[in-house]
Amino acid sequence: MKKNFLFLPFLFFILISWRSAYASHIRMDSPPIRHLHIVKSIIEERMDKIEVMAHAHAEMLMQFQQYLSETQSEMNILRNKIEQNQYFLSKIKEDLNSESLSYKKAVSLMHERKYIPAIEALKSFIHDHPHSSYQPMAHYFLGQIYSNIGKKDDALYFFALLAKKYASSPQVPDALLKVGILIQEKGQKDQAKTIYKKIMQFYPNTDSAKKARLQLSQLN
């Protein structure tokens, strides 16, 4: 009995030591439960932020891809328009070259006094290039050629047609003067006088007006 009594302090000492060691182990190796909750909360908050950022990044990426697609589409449209304009410009250039060559060829034949080929060339030019700026001169030269070869009615037709179709052309006063002279030669003096007066009225400061005044004085 005495031995058991003596052994009690030893057991008590072991229990105290083991309790202290266990408590120390808990403090060193296992964080408190409340710390685990804090860490978990922080991790969840960060994961939420990462998820929001990832979603925003995906949204921006989709918008950027859509922008690239729209830009590419607009660039394709612009490229097509540029190609079309280049094609039209090349055609215009070809037409202008063809127009100029045709006109110069016809005028050259006229100056060489090759009147029949010149007439054919000028008529072809008028037909093939209806909007050309050379149209008034082509009509004038046709009238002049027909006048030179004695075809007065044909000459009268092209001079009158020039005055009618291209009223703002600088060739109109001279063409009207030619009309007046041709009509005068046909014996239609009163009509010739009317034309001369019109030239003097509407084109007073031109050489054609001076010549019309001279023609008119010879008829009076």
pLDDT in tens, 133-192: 999 999 999 999 999 999 999 999 999 999 999 999 999 999 999 999 999 999 999 999
- Assign residue 169 a region: left if phi > 0, alpha if psi is -120 to 50, beta otherwise? beta
Q: Is pLDDT larger for residue 42 or for residue 105?
A: 105
Tokens found for residue 170:
């600088």
**What is the dihedral sign for C-alpha 129, 133, 136, 137?**
negative
Q: Is pLDDT larger for residue 64 or for residue 130?
A: 130
Contacts of 146 (CB under 8 A, 6+ apart): 119, 152, 154, 155, 158
Contacts of 174 (CB under 8 A, 6+ apart): 140, 207, 208
